[in-house]
Structure 1
Amino acid sequence: MIAINNLTFEIGSRALYDEANWHIKPGDKTGLIGANGTGKTTLLKLIVGDYSPTSGTISMAKDLKIGYLNQDLLSYQSNKSILHVAMEAFERQNQLHTEIEQLLKKLETDYSDDIIQKLSDKQTEFEALDGYSIEYRAHEILAGLGFSDNDQKRQLSEFSGGWRMRVMLARILLQAPDILLLDEPTNHLDLPSIKWLESYLQAFEGAIIIVSHDRYFLDRVVTSIVESKRGKLVQYAGNYSFYLEEKTLREEIQGNQFKNQQAKIKQEERLIERFRAKASKAKMVQSRIKALERMEKVDDVDDYNPSVNFRFKFSKQSGRHVVRLENVSKSYPGIPILDSTDAIIEKGDKIALIGANGKGKSTLLRIVAQADSGFTGECETGHNVTQTFFAQHQLEALHLDNEIIRELQLFAPKHTETELRSILGCFLFTGDDAFKKIRVLSGGEKSRVALAKALTADANFLVLDEPTNHLDIQSVNILIQALTQFEGTFIVVSHDRYLLDNVANKIWYIEDQKIKQYPGTYQEYEEWQAKRVVTAPAKAKETKSAKQEPKQAAPKKTDDKERQTKKLNKELEGIEQRIATVEQAMKDAELLMALESTYADKTKLDEASRHYETLKKELQVLQNQWENLAEEIMTLEA
């Protein structure tokens, strides 16, 4: 389908690709990955002809139809409806439709055989191209990408950049290309739209090349991985998870080969040095020198997985209640968002706020962050709470003329330069990178600087709105490590399911203008939600059957479900408080056992150990009680 042979592409004196090779076959579904700056987007532009190779070839069939989604499409403007813009994909069908309308107009005054024959030919071709269903197909794909019937009638110019990108994606999908090139297709999609796109691409019969930082998305769509690394394209069979396993194995082999080769080189160099001055050994020495020069060197394994070892500290601990929302209502003209809803964020909560776009996630986040005053009800911040709010507009607040290290020093003066250099290293700014001017950074690099600033703040409560936008997989992993180590409280909005599954211990979602809570991880929430979707039709069927039997009296409610749920939630809150107390007591017990005065005295150590074991058993009982109560609450709320 597409053959890339000995591709070299140079930017100035730097070779982004150096004799790289890759053959793309029909039906391939490949994830193109690599660190930022390794040329993933550049390669897509080389394939579509936007750039020309320095040397080498990219060959393909002349009639190959390529659909290319890239971030440049955000600049496309139109005052036509988005349904009309999406239907522009059907170029020939639209042309035929116009010609048929013109012929029908002529037919009102001209009944000649020539006009009738032309009309018949055009209508036959239009029908053969399935022209009568194009509006339905466009409507179906736009609906899958989150556009309501009313939205589809609105002008493209009325929508923000993210929504316009969805329209461009719809138009590309409707073209039914032989190969799709998708550059970060999930960047502007919410979770329901990402899941819809996954299903669509799984059923897509053509080839797909995807550049994405969403590893869950890659796992569900691609069947092979190509990594852009050191100017080469390294291929792996399997999805992203398989790639990680296979890469670890390959790097282990490569590392051993490198060590063995280095040992051999040192041995040869010692031998050469020993006999270099002896005339009788000159021939042997020259032979070994040439052999070393001809030796194909094995590269050492690059460490592309830096770990975060920075201690995120804050000067004071927050109180038990971090934020309390009571009777909060918020709406925009004609659009209700929240209606008399309550919620509490407690110390230590790691909350993922999820849901479809337009449900009010960012609005709720701004209310929590005290950045939106246009609501009714109460939003009360707790005792000793210090907050940092991260959103994409924080990138605009960066001082472009500052060096990166200077930007952090001005923001976090209590930290030493060594500490700040350490956290910058975690966010992939090593060595002299720390002295780069912010104005020369890419969007992803600026996002990493803004995140580094947020995490160096003296804040015990983080509010994070889409922190993974513009981050590559490596940077997302760093953010996960940082949030896992963060000992305070945070609430995060993100469409990156891998991040959510690894950092959240509670899930918030907005349903019927109310804040709902699931007390568990994202994966557990997904499983629970799947059960709700399955049981809902069955409940609807039971309700319908009950309505069809008017002679049977409707069963009376024996319990007030809402009152019972409130009671159980109160019990759950009490258990959570007890768990927190026991966990703190266990930490104190661990510190006591670590003291020299304790472990040097057998009696004291035995007593401390017994106390610790008692606490451990009590914690297990409390956790079991918590799980049972949580299950009961979920059953009532289902």
Structure 2
Amino acid sequence: MVNRIHRLALLLSLAATTSVHAFMRVSCDPEQAWRISHISLADSKASTQTRAVTTNVPTPNYGDTQGAELFLDGIAVAAGATQLVSGVNWKINKGERVGIVGGNGAGKSTVLSVIAGHNLPEEGSIRVHPRATLGYLVQTAVSGSARPLIEEAMSQMTAFHAAQKAVAEAEARVTRDPSDANLLSLERAQAEWIEAGGEDVERRVGNILNGLGFQRSDYPRPCTDFSGGWQMRIALARLLLGEPSLLLLDEPTNHLDSAAKEWLMHFLSGYTGTVLLVSHEEELLRAFQCTTVAELRFQALELYRCGYDQFLAQREERAEALEAAAARQAKERARVQAFIDRFGAKATMASAANSRKKTLEKMAIIEAPLAAGKRPHLRFPPPPKVMPELVKLQNASFGYPPAQPLVKEVDFTLTRGTRMVLLGPNGCGKSTVLKALTGSLPALNGASSERILGEGLEMGVFTQDLAQDLPQEHIALDYVLSTVRQKDLSVSDQQARGALGALGLTGEKAMRPISALSGGEKARVALSVFALLPHNLLVLDEPSNHLDVATMETLSEALAEYRGTLVVISHNKAFVERLKVTHVGLIKNRRLVVEERMLRPSDWSFDAQGGSDARASPVVSTRAKGEESSTKSSRSTTSGREKNDGIPEKPKITYQEQRARFKRISAAPKRIAKLQQIIEDKEKKAEEYGKKMYHAGCDVAKVMELNERKEALASEVESLYAEWDELEALLAETASAGGA
């Protein structure tokens, strides 16, 4: 029985909750617009149908994960005819924070979509824990809805909506019949509502929407009012508010300004679920505090059980080990091939030569990665001569009617040699200023404004959407050549391949249709065209979006060396700081303010950009030069000694030595067969150590121990091969003497 006091408290609670629900219903008042959490059952069904049609809902395979949150069981993933990875066995445990990295086109987005259930693996299976909830953000995510922003953002808060609906139903029953049973039912429903975050919903929703850059006045606006970049933010907000236990994010910062990036970095660092993050932004990967870094490279997925900075160091160590192993293997292959060439035609040695030939054919080639400092160099053509004043805007206002001008009364002259970066949060008018400079957006007050171009101006323009507007059916190299030769017939195939290669599209990738390229690779194609034509003014809007770290560094180095005039928009602090900026443009109170000076830390504070400089320091190795010098010195000394000593006399052989030699010759065939078996066993063992080194992750002690064992085996194998060579030379000498 519910006692009288408890009953009175529940009735008062009902009255208060009813008033709260009335207060939380849909409102056109921006200050109350977030209060749309109460959605009727009919509305919920309609919205579910809308989402099914307009969004790609992941369909993960739930099953036995052997205790992990996610289990990749022997999967292989391909993009068309191109194999991306194969034989991947990977358990991702609850709470892990995985950063997925790799060059453009390595397959990061494809692999993530397969994990999400959007595509099937070529081989193997992917299983998600039965109690896990999966959320997935694709690079091109849009809200896919015409509903108000606030309603769409809260649409995947399923636990909250279910609890809200249960409270409303319990309230209705109590209103009809305030019996003890109905009051207890209401009490339970209210407890579940609190457990689902009902009391905290305003703060959570406001935190995420405001963090992603939305104002309260945006809350009642339909999603269709927002541009593509803001559509992605709506999709991200919807996903984060759903609080999935397994969160998959594909380049979530591509359309975020510095303030939103900073907020997202802070939010993800405290996210309690399991997160898989694909990103090319080193600052984000550091702030994300990875527990594992997964790198897609050479059609394989390499795992590093450590943070991002440790991953960089560990990868460098692995690269050096691979380079050394590749050098040793090349030396060994050359030695074996020399033996085959020397003895392959001799009947007495044919068996041994054939055996070595088979060994050579079975030997898996070790591919050393491209070392730091060996990245292809990109260089923009010298800028053509131009008058001192390139573009002049006078009393010009720009925007999109019927809204108020984004930038008004612009009086600005862009002079030769200026290197300007435009900074500010998204939506303040930076891209509008660029369009004003390029002439793609006419002034709102056309009659009373002027845009004057300097004589000899050759302007190159790169926009965020340029890569997506490429003709999808064209081959990448053919498109670059045909586009560039419309203005410069002298550009050769080799030059076009060089530009594509410098930006990472080498070999057969340059011969793929544009439709078969990733988003980052399409950006490289557009940048290749941009880099091959001579311009005296380069205008770039977010050029680093979609580019991996190596390509971003190549581009920033090329722009830093460029001697023309430069205007850039970018929220990537590390990228901008490499550009040798001479002017900073800010938009304050709808007016363009340009100051002639270098960048300051405070330039990023208006949009909350923080964190350390993410620039990668070049790694310079002097060991190779030292080894080469030492080798030359050794050779020089040996050469001099041979020259001075002359040809030694042949020593006399005693009877005992002749007898020992005869025994060794007799036993040589059996010993050679034994040596071959021993060498094969040791080489297999060394290969096993190599595989164990890759899976040792950040356990440096383990890696060093395995490497010592591997090196010891290599030394033993070298000695065994030397003995084999000696025995075969002895047999060859005996056969030659017998023939004579």
Counterpart Cα distance in 1 of 2:105 and 2:468: 22
Match of 1:116 in 2: 183
Q: Is residue 341–residue 515 contact of structure 1 (8 Å, CA) maintained in 2?
A: yes
Selected match of 1:229 from 280, 297, 303 = 297
Map of 2:339 onto structure 1: 271
Q: Distance in 1 between matches of 2:200 and 2:422?
A: 38
Cα distance in structure 1, aligned partners of 2:220 and 2:249: 26
Where does residue 456 of structure 2 map in the other structure?
Answer: 384
- 2:574 — aligned with what? 498
Cross-structure match for 2:155? 88
Partner amino acid for 1:117? L
1:100 counterpart (164, 167, 175)? 167
CA distance, structure 1, for counterparts of residue 119 and residue 497 of structure 2: 37
| Alignment of structure 1 residues 488-567 onto 2, 5 Å | 488-505=564-581, 506-517=583-594, 519-521=596-598, 524-527=599-602, 530=605
Residue of structure 2 aligned with 1:356, choices 411, 425, 431: 425
What is the identity, as a one-letter code, of the residue corresponding to 2:76?
T
Query: 2:252 aligns to what SS in structure 1?
Result: coil
Q: Distance in 2 between matches of 1:15 and 1:397?
A: 27
Aligned letter for 1:146?
G
- Residue 368 (structure 2) pairs with residue 300 (structure 1): yes
Task: State the match for 1:420 in structure 2.
Answer: 496
Distance in 2 between residues matched to 1:112 and 1:388, nearest whole Å: 76
What is the aligned counterpart of 1:460 among 526, 532, 536? 536
Q: Contact between 1:317 and 1:460, CA under 8 Å: does it hold in 2? A: yes
- Give, in whole Å, the separation in 2 of the partners of 1:351 and 1:245: 35
Of 56, 62, 65, 2:133 maps to 65
Cα deviation for residue 290 of structure 1 reads: 5.0
Distance 2:170 2:238 in 1: 28
Give the SS at the match of 1:228.
Answer: strand
Question: Which whole-Å deviations, capped at 9, do the CAs of 1:587-609 have from their partners, x for residues lacking one?
Answer: xxxxxxxxxxxxxxxxxxxxxxx
Superposition pairs for residues 219-618 of structure 1, below 5 Å? 219-223=286-290, 224-236=292-304, 239-240=307-308, 242-281=310-349, 284-285=352-353, 287-293=355-361, 295-302=363-370, 306-314=375-383, 316-332=384-400, 333-376=402-445, 377-395=449-467, 398-399=470-471, 403-404=478-479, 405-431=481-507, 434=510, 436-438=512-514, 441-505=517-581, 506-517=583-594, 519-521=596-598, 524-527=599-602, 530=605
Contact 2:319 2:371 in 1 (8 A): no
> How much has 1:508 moved relative to structure 2?
1.7
8 Å CA contact 2:259–2:608 kept in 1: the answer is no
- Tell me by how many angstroms 1:182 deviates: 0.6
Is the Cα–Cα contact under 8 Å of residues 21 and 233 in structure 1 kept in the other structure?
no
**SS of match in other structure, 1:508:** strand
Asked if the contact 2:381/2:535 (under 8 Å) is kept, the reply is no
Identity across aligned pairs (percent)? 29
Show structure 2 runs of 5+ residues with no match: 1-67, 610-740
Query: SS in structure 2 opposite 1:108?
Result: helix
**1:178–1:378 CA distance, 2 compared to 1 (3 A):** same
Counterpart of 2:679 in structure 1 is none
Q: Helix, strand or coil for the counterpart of 2:578?
A: helix
CA contact 2:104–2:518 (8 Å) conserved in 1:
no
Note the C-alpha offset of 1:285: 4.0
| Partner Cα separation in structure 1 for residue 341 and residue 435 of structure 2 | 70
User: Displacement, 1:265?
Assistant: 1.5
Task: Confirm or deny: 8 A CA contact 2:425 2:607 kept in the other structure.
Answer: no
Residue by residue, what CA displacement relative to the aligned partner does 1:440-459 show, whole Å, maximum 9, x if unpaired? Answer: 55543333232222233332
> Which amino acid is the alignment partner of residue 488 of structure 1?
G
Residue 414 (structure 1) shift: 4.6
Q: Does 1:22 align with 2:90?
A: yes
Amino acid at match of 1:387: M
- Aligned-partner residue type, residue 202 of structure 1: S
Q: Distance in 2 between the 1:118 and 1:282 partners? A: 91
Following superposition, the deviation at residue 465 of structure 1 comes to 1.6
5+ unaligned residues in a row in structure 1: which ranges? 535-638
3-state SS of the aligned residue for 1:153? coil
Q: 1:430 to 1:283 in 2, by over 3 A?
A: closer
Could you tell me whether the CA contact under 8 Å between 1:310 and 1:419 is conserved in 2? Answer: no
The answer to whether the 8 A contact 2:458-2:534 is kept is yes
The DSSP-based 3-state class of the residue aligned with 1:499 is helix
Q: What is the RMSD computed on CA atoms of the aligned residues?
A: 3.1
SS in 2 for 1:470: coil
Q: Do the aligned partners of residues 532 and 20 (structure 1) sit closer, same or farther apart at CA in structure 2, a change above 3 Å counting?
A: closer
Q: After the TM superposition, which residues 174-189 of structure 1 pair with which residues of structure 2 at under 5 Å, given as runs?
A: 174-189=241-256
Larger Rg: 2
Segment of structure 1 superposing worse, 156-165 or 332-341 = 332-341
| Partner SS for 1:16 | strand
Q: 2: CA distance between counterparts of 1:487 and 1:338? A: 29
Aligned counterparts of 1:530 and 1:164: Cα–Cα separation in 2: 25
The aligned counterpart of 2:74 is 6
Read off the aligned partner of 1:510 and give its amino acid letter: I
Kept in 2: contact 1:32–1:212 (CA 8 A): yes
CA shift, 1:91, in A, is 0.9
Aligned to 1:580: none
Aligned AA (2:119):
Y
User: Given residue 443 of structure 2, which amino acid in structure 1 is its aligned partner?
Assistant: G
TM-score (norm 2): 0.65
Q: 1:168 aligns with which of 232, 235, 242?
A: 235
Contact 1:192–1:355 (CA under 8 A) maintained in structure 2: no
The residue that corresponds to 1:52 in the other structure is 120
**Structure 1, 194-203 or 432-441: larger mean CA deviation:** 432-441
Q: Distance in 1 between matches of 2:260 and 2:160?
A: 27
Q: Distance in 1 between matches of 2:526 and 2:437?
A: 20
Tell which deviates more after alignment, 316-325 or 430-439: 430-439
Change in Cα spacing, 1:311 to 1:529, as seen in structure 2 (3 Å) is closer
1-side partners of 2:455 and 2:273: how far apart?
57
Secondary structure, counterpart of 1:420 in structure 2:
helix
Q: Which moved more, 1:490-499 or 1:64-73?
A: 64-73
SS of the residue aligned with 1:233? strand
Which stretch of the first structure deviates more once superposed, 256-265 or 232-241? Answer: 232-241
Q: CA, structure 1 residues 383+213, in 2 after alignment: closer, same or farther (shift >3 Å)?
A: same
1:409–1:420 contact (8 Å) kept in structure 2: no
Deviation by residue 1:204-240 (Cα, 9 ceiling, x = unmatched): 2333221122233223324342210122111335555
Asked if the contact 2:376–2:501 (Cα under 8 Å) also holds between the matched residues in 1, the reply is no
| C-alpha displacement of 1:350 | 1.9
Q: Is the 8 A contact 2:76 2:87 kept in 1?
A: yes
Distance of aligned partners of 1:90 and 1:436 in 2 relative to their CA distance in 1, 3 Å threshold:
closer
Q: Does 1:194 align with 2:271?
A: no
**1:173 to partner: Cα distance:** 1.4
Aligned residues: 530
Aligned residue identity for 2:336: E
| Shift, 1:268, TM fit | 1.6
- Distance of aligned partners of 1:107 and 1:3 in 2 relative to their CA distance in 1, 3 Å threshold: closer
**Is the Cα contact below 8 Å between 2:398 and 2:441 reproduced in 1?**
no
Structure 2 residue aligned with 1:565: none
Which residue matches 2:212?
145
1:366 Cα shift?
Answer: 1.0
Q: Deviations over 1:481-502 (max 9, x none)?
A: 3312321111111233332121
Under a length normalisation based on structure 1, what TM-score does the superposition of the two structures give? 0.75
1:214–1:77 distance in 2 versus 1, CA, 3 Å:
same
For 2:12, the equivalent position in structure 1 comes to none
Question: Secondary structure, in 3 states, of the residue corresponding to 2:216?
Answer: coil
CA 495–20 in structure 1, closer or farther in 2 if over 3 Å, else same: same
Which residue in the other structure is 1:579 paired with?
A: none
Give the CA deviation at 1:194: 0.8
